[in-house]
Structure 1
């Protein structure tokens, strides 16, 4: 099968098309004799963007960048990025106005701008759209080391020159260049970090060296870090509609209906009416889980710059790295909705909390045959990324010419395994204040699920292997010319340009179950027990102390033992034809802009306005199911392809008016888009047997589009502080949502042991562009103040704070008509940092808060919320000598837990601890 897929891949080689016209222009520019016209060193104008050794100076530099930008934006620069106790680039960005992050087991992973979903944010490094190996448009920030980043700007109002506006905003990441510094630099740093739960100490070190040699400059940077983190979580809890039992075959359905009537007084009118049965809820699965996450990450940059004069520079940049993570998950779980079970006794129910939706929740129930599971899961992820670019800046005969050629790529491999032992027995499951629990029921056949290894039978050692290849090529050429026309004095300059991008993402996936000591052997199924394997207490398998969510310990199989024991010689996971997909996308864009300087009511004003025309071609490949002559299911011999195309015209408008000295009024308006995730475009079908549904890709998806407007006032103070307030409005349409688009009747479904479970109607869901639109409005406040302006006694003290408040009009995304805000959108977010610094000492205390938000909509019916979360971080450093500084940093120093719930906190789904993290570091600057 792998060979077959390899042959098919050769039919569609990766495209490396870069616009020949752009290449010829660049070659022509590089061959010009103007290169020989080197200006004296004293005449060269070098913009020093690097900031060294002072947090307040880095804030001032970020304020300068904000003031100079024609649109709404915020920035952080190197010292700000490096000096906070973040674990990766995502956590460095969370302190910017309107920026929050999504956390996974205590680690920042994805970035939300103004709390909109992460896929609404466009990310680029050195003006190249970033590849990270994810299946969507969002970037997995945890793969990037913050130490190799020089500056980050979040641009919230686009111009026509921007590659993509991003409905939420654009994150523009820049790495350091040698001429960013006025003199040679050598920076070395090292630290050790301790996690309070795993009790492990992790090393990290980085270096940066830069020097200029006349017209030439060179810079290299490198960072390497290890991280070991343990997370304890009572989670996996969710709503399950009573249709699971009421639609069952045999006596299970009748018994469920009888118990509902007897114990809760609920008379079911139509057992097949999903609108009725989906409003009777029981608790599906409760899991006690311990995670151990080990990461090894390195990143490097290199930059060579030729700058013979202030009119010409040529820069070659490279950025590359690797991110390896191994996550062990040990899960003791009880699956109430097993295929053999039904209701036995309803001990309590809640018909008031969700009465407005007509929902009754069975809160404490005994079941006839709960599926108890011990799961030892291992996830090994390896991501390699690299990016190369050549950038030209040239002022020639009154023209400012910029050129870019670049490549960004990532290759990701994910190796997953799950050792599964199962015991069917009566038990009782109920909600607790922080999650859920499964205990023994009154039935004589019940078991203590945590202490009955002889009752658990081996079901399978499941393996999955996924490989994703993500490649992006780009070529861009921009022209700008200053205009001095007496007939139209307001027009100061014009800009125009073109960009061509070629993107390709390919995914291979395979899954197989080991059920015996050799290929095809099933002799272990329902014969080998849990106690036949080597067992250890969970608190011994993962380093650290007791299980945090509750007073509980249990014995389980380690992943190390499982890999050694169950993977027989010669085992491999073959790729599956039906899981392959590839998406190719080319985008050609042209833009034109004009800049104006004039007076508005006698006040100095600047205006940027323009339009961007975008033409997008998409080709999606995948294998589709066919029926063989014997009636079995097969797949097309070659990938089936489908083309898509869309064209967009995106205008933009940015205006600044200087109301007084240092006081600026900004207004911006634009139309922008975010393209659909490549996994949604993929022309393939996948199946979820437990949810009785197929999911198809949709190559005809159109981008999500937004019309947006913002206005605000900014006061730039002489001491480097800023007070700012802005109001923004977005009208978003074409949001991609899963929708029921068909039904496949009488699908055969089998249990893991091969026995027939039954024949069911499977729903077919596809991502579609939802009808209508919704509005998001918000208020953003910024206060960055050195406090000595209030009193000389406060010299050295300052605050850096911001607050974002949102409102939205979206409702009805639940098939039950439950009002639901957009996934990922939090109503309130804020950051507050109090700092103090003098010549030798500085300290910062920071608090970041993100309000509750919908994480996902379970079964397209029940919104699941991530609870509001606030985290306090600390950073203290002391200058030992002129060149050496020591620092102490703390992350989550108050040891906050992460929690979530379905619809209301009365029904929690997660209670998770990831612990505190402290680090001690040393930094040397020369």
Structure 2
């Protein structure tokens, strides 16, 4: 191993020195684009490959030469990321699982912790991007989680995940930090052009959508000036179809009373409900059987338009100074329609008579039944949303002397997510007979009705709920770092200031006139092949005609709902110092990083109680020490140890001191708490990496997180404060015909509080290798794989087991790869609703395929296939804790992309 001016220390002295001083890797810290250790890089042979293998090699080099535990994804070429969505690429990293909406990755879970626990940066600055959901399960993100679907992946040339921090790493991510970097002209000097065009096809929508990218870059004046510009444009048509129940409940648990009459009910099967009681009296056991609250066929459609621009200017007048200006603009437009047709069992069991019931084998739920006295509702929603994002970052790197370097950055970013929602209900209030049968599927029911569900005269246009929301997030950042470098040693310190603001505003259209008949304001479902993948189990139904209603019945004047507005301002000031050393211990090299970070946080939370504004201040500070050790035991083996304390601040939306949020159908009230303290965690990481062959890795990392402060939801059953009743009466979301009466029915009040912590333990395994040792064509193949195990207490979104496998074949002119990603089932709510112990999601298995063919050195044909097996999404509840009751079951179809790419 080659070294210069080496220190030779005894092992004990090494350990003591490391604990007192430490080091970080010579890679530049997270506030700028990292570079691999050039000294270490010279000690290995670099393999010249292209395409996917090139991306793997760059990522492997980043991981190898960092001192802290880091994973990386590198672009295969200018403007060519390995996946069409950044979240889809991140899911192939050990420890990462993603949540999808509309068949596209939106947010990530890292090492068992949800999206809010991962801090995301873009070009060294925290990203405040929010979008709203792209399927029926989505909503506007007003918290700290980052929505990766706002950006096209082609705008970036590298994404890193820091699983263990350095002192220079800005605080905020207990799980880790995702650092995204857009392309810059000095990355590849000279003139470059990259362009691609793809046609995307979805086999459920049967629509063809375009996806286009253009990037141009050049350097001038002996490579002292550089400019880069890129644009990415894509359209996407999404369709989600399925069946839902909106959870299961029993008449006894529902709160609306037991069945009207069960004396003549034909019961097949034996109930296993124990002693069924209601208001202290024994009742017929069928009143304790779990039944769907709102059994319904579901439809969701979305037309998405995404446009992004990046620009970068760089100036290096001499070898000591580099000035960079990065800018990124992005817009994401969504135009959605949502249709549901459900039978209303919730809160109305006392009006319903079961004529026959078939009990499932477990004795606790209905398998099939016929009911009389049921009422119906068709819910039609139209949502028009637009998210605008912009960021400007100016940075400077200046070598003040041979030993002293200054890095500085100032930046500003803004994300504005606005959504207009038009929701119309058509009801059939004539009691009727309906039957449901889950006999052929545990996920969907065959529904039969004793009236014509396509007859508009059977329905009234009951009400309209018209609301607009606007989430504005703003970040301003300033940072300065000084680094003093000597032989084998580096000392670094800096300060960072952040000013973050999140505001939420809401408005509505008042005066919607109810109509006795839906005739003239309804239409047949505008998709004649609705439910084609469900063997006839999804019944057709009429839906609202948005154009007719909006043009004839509405005076479109948005009236602010100031009582629902809130704003949180957060200022942080941080300072850190860290030291970096390398030590020779016999034939081994110990790379160390130790430091401490101090940060003070001040918040001002403003909300409304009725019409009166309330502002509450809070502040706290944190001291965050960190130690990273990387022992190069041999030329091929690295042993790592990471010790750190990290923190994540509470969601900004949870700090709202004003009006609570009501769920009238479920009888719940949610309020904020401006005095929440941050999550804190003490972390230990131990890993071994064996680079046993060229482009190859076998690695294992164990991690342990002791989260001492975990925010939980505290609940209390009580009547709603009378001061809120006037607000409720004027709330367009409140429908007295179906809601629980807040005057007489106790609501469950939820308030976030700092509660007991938990421990997370896990193991990550990696195996990566090209099969160049095999004969013939097999030598062009390779495998990238990883497995993650996570164990913890009651943490939502945690899958105990997850794995990824990518098998690739690549030659100079063509190649292909197939990937599979699997995660276990995971809990989404440990408190449940409507008498359910838990709510959960089945872990999906996704198969993807991609291929390319180089026509010549400049032109490439590409093919992508996503979700090849058309994986269905399944949400479920657990009833008394032992059941598997389907809540939602839907799919979005397979996606195929055929394209051509040009590089110069």
Match of 1:774 in 2: 758
Secondary structure of 1:90's partner? helix
Match of 1:834 in 2: 807
Match of 2:850 in 1: 875
Query: What CA distance in whole angstroms lies between the structure 1 residues aligned with 2:49 and 2:217?
Result: 14
Secondary structure of 2:769's partner? strand
Match of 2:691 in 1: 716
Is the counterpart of residue 158 in structure 1 residue 165 in structure 2? yes
Query: What CA distance in whole angstroms lies between the structure 2 residues aligned with 1:259 and 1:863?
Result: 34
Q: CA deviation at 1:183?
A: 2.6
Contact 1:92–1:146 (Cα < 8 Å) also in 2: no
Contact 2:530–2:540 (Cα < 8 Å) also in 1: no
Q: CA deviation at 1:695?
A: 1.6
Change (3 A) 1:689 1:205: same
Query: What CA distance in whole angstroms lies between the structure 2 residues aligned with 1:779 and 1:336?
Result: 45
Secondary structure of 2:803's partner? strand
Give per-residue Cα distances to partners, 1:270-309, cap 9 Å, x unaligned. Answer: 6289xx9998643211121122111000111101001133
Q: Mean alpha-carbon deviation: is it higher for 410-419 or for 430-439? A: 430-439
Residue from 524, 527, 530 that aligns with 1:536: 524
Secondary structure of 1:734's partner? strand
Change (3 A) 1:294 1:456: same
Residue from 456, 462, 467 that aligns with 2:465: 462
Is the counterpart of residue 271 in structure 1 residue 279 in structure 2? yes
Residue from 223, 238, 244 that aligns with 2:232: 223
Contact 1:345–1:366 (Cα < 8 Å) also in 2: yes
Contact 1:306–1:314 (Cα < 8 Å) also in 2: yes
Q: CA deviation at 1:692?
A: 2.0
Contact 1:301–1:319 (Cα < 8 Å) also in 2: yes
Query: What CA distance in whole angstroms lies between the structure 1 residues aligned with 2:323 and 2:286?
Result: 66
Query: What CA distance in whole angstroms lies between the structure 1 residues aligned with 2:697 and 2:763?
Result: 17
Match of 1:181 in 2: 188
Match of 1:308 in 2: 317
Residue from 46, 63, 68 that aligns with 1:66: 63
Residue from 292, 298, 304 that aligns with 1:295: 304
Change (3 A) 1:349 1:703: farther
Q: CA deviation at 1:726?
A: 0.8
Change (3 A) 1:120 1:877: same
Contact 2:95–2:112 (Cα < 8 Å) also in 1: yes
Change (3 A) 1:567 1:604: farther
Alignment of 1:308-387 (within 5 A): 308-339=317-348, 341-345=350-354, 347-348=356-357, 353=362, 360-387=364-391
Query: What CA distance in whole angstroms lies between the structure 2 residues aligned with 1:400 and 1:560?
Result: 61
Match of 1:24 in 2: none
Q: CA deviation at 1:899?
A: 1.6
Is the counterpart of residue 924 in structure 1 residue 899 in structure 2? no
Change (3 A) 1:277 1:63: farther
Is the counterpart of residue 546 in structure 1 residue 532 in structure 2? yes
Query: What CA distance in whole angstroms lies between the structure 2 residues aligned with 1:766 and 1:374?
Result: 30
Query: What CA distance in whole angstroms lies between the structure 1 residues aligned with 2:474 and 2:744?
Result: 40
Give per-residue Cα distances to partners, 1:736-793, cap 9 Å, x unaligned. Answer: 2221156235866877367997532443534433432211111111112111134465
Match of 1:911 in 2: 889
Match of 2:39 in 1: none
CA-based RMSD: 3.1
Give per-residue Cα distances to partners, 1:435-484, cap 9 Å, x unaligned. Answer: 343745xxxxx734634532221111221100111100000111111246
Q: CA deviation at 1:344?
A: 2.0
Q: Mean alpha-carbon deviation: is it higher for 458-467 or for 235-244? A: 235-244
Alignment of 1:663-682 (within 5 A): 663-682=637-656
Alignment of 1:477-492 (within 5 A): 477-483=480-486, 492=489
Q: CA deviation at 1:53?
A: 4.8
Change (3 A) 1:559 1:224: farther
Query: What CA distance in whole angstroms lies between the structure 2 residues aligned with 1:82 and 1:325?
Result: 25
Q: Mean alpha-carbon deviation: is it higher for 761-770 or for 408-417? A: 761-770
Query: What CA distance in whole angstroms lies between the structure 2 residues aligned with 1:81 and 1:121?
Result: 27
Contact 2:665–2:738 (Cα < 8 Å) also in 1: no
Query: What CA distance in whole angstroms lies between the structure 1 residues aligned with 2:245 and 2:286?
Result: 22
Alignment of 1:408-557 (within 5 A): 408-424=413-429, 425-426=431-432, 427-429=434-436, 431=438, 433-437=441-445, 439-440=447-448, 447-448=450-451, 450-483=453-486, 492-512=489-509, 515-516=512-513, 522=514, 524=515, 527-529=516-518, 531-540=519-528, 546=532, 548=534, 550-557=536-543
Q: CA deviation at 1:725?
A: 1.1
Q: CA deviation at 1:837?
A: 1.2
Residue from 76, 84, 89 that aligns with 1:92: 89
Query: What CA distance in whole angstroms lies between the structure 2 residues aligned with 1:874 and 1:723?
Result: 24
Match of 1:23 in 2: none
Q: Mean alpha-carbon deviation: is it higher for 295-304 or for 722-731? A: 722-731
Q: CA deviation at 1:339?
A: 4.2
Q: CA deviation at 1:555?
A: 3.6
Match of 2:871 in 1: 896
Secondary structure of 1:535's partner? strand
Query: What CA distance in whole angstroms lies between the structure 2 residues aligned with 1:755 and 1:504?
Result: 37
Secondary structure of 2:755's partner? coil
Match of 2:400 in 1: 396
Contact 2:266–2:357 (Cα < 8 Å) also in 1: no
Gapped regions of structure 2 (runs ≥ 5):
1-41, 131-140
Contact 2:260–2:349 (Cα < 8 Å) also in 1: no
Residue from 795, 812, 825 that aligns with 1:822: 795
Secondary structure of 1:290's partner? strand
Q: CA deviation at 1:332?
A: 1.5
Gapped regions of structure 1 (runs ≥ 5):
1-44, 355-359, 441-445, 485-490, 517-521, 626-634, 811-820
Change (3 A) 1:377 1:254: closer
Query: What CA distance in whole angstroms lies between the structure 2 residues aligned with 1:81 and 1:900?
Result: 39
Match of 1:145 in 2: 152
Change (3 A) 1:105 1:119: same
Query: What CA distance in whole angstroms lies between the structure 1 residues aligned with 2:889 and 2:453?
Result: 19
Match of 2:4 in 1: none
Query: What CA distance in whole angstroms lies between the structure 1 residues aligned with 2:122 and 2:673?
Result: 29
Count of matched residue pairs: 823
Contact 1:341–1:368 (Cα < 8 Å) also in 2: no
Give per-residue Cα distances to partners, 1:549-599, cap 9 Å, x unaligned. Answer: 64444242355435544552x422322122100000000111111112224
Give per-residue Cα distances to partners, 1:687-720, cap 9 Å, x unaligned. Answer: 2212223221110111111111111111224522
Change (3 A) 1:259 1:160: farther
Query: What CA distance in whole angstroms lies between the structure 1 residues aligned with 2:520 and 2:292?
Result: 31
Contact 2:97–2:109 (Cα < 8 Å) also in 1: yes
Q: CA deviation at 1:646?
A: 1.3
Q: CA deviation at 1:850?
A: 1.6
Secondary structure of 1:826's partner? coil
Secondary structure of 1:671's partner? strand
Is the counterpart of residue 703 in structure 1 residue 678 in structure 2? yes
Contact 2:387–2:417 (Cα < 8 Å) also in 1: yes
Change (3 A) 1:81 1:722: farther
Match of 1:192 in 2: 199
Residue from 168, 174, 190 that aligns with 2:175: 168
Q: CA deviation at 1:429?
A: 4.4
Change (3 A) 1:480 1:741: farther
Match of 1:734 in 2: 709
Give per-residue Cα distances to partners, 1:585-630, cap 9 Å, x unaligned. Answer: 00011111111222456521011011111110010001113xxxxx
Residue from 851, 870, 890 that aligns with 2:824: 851
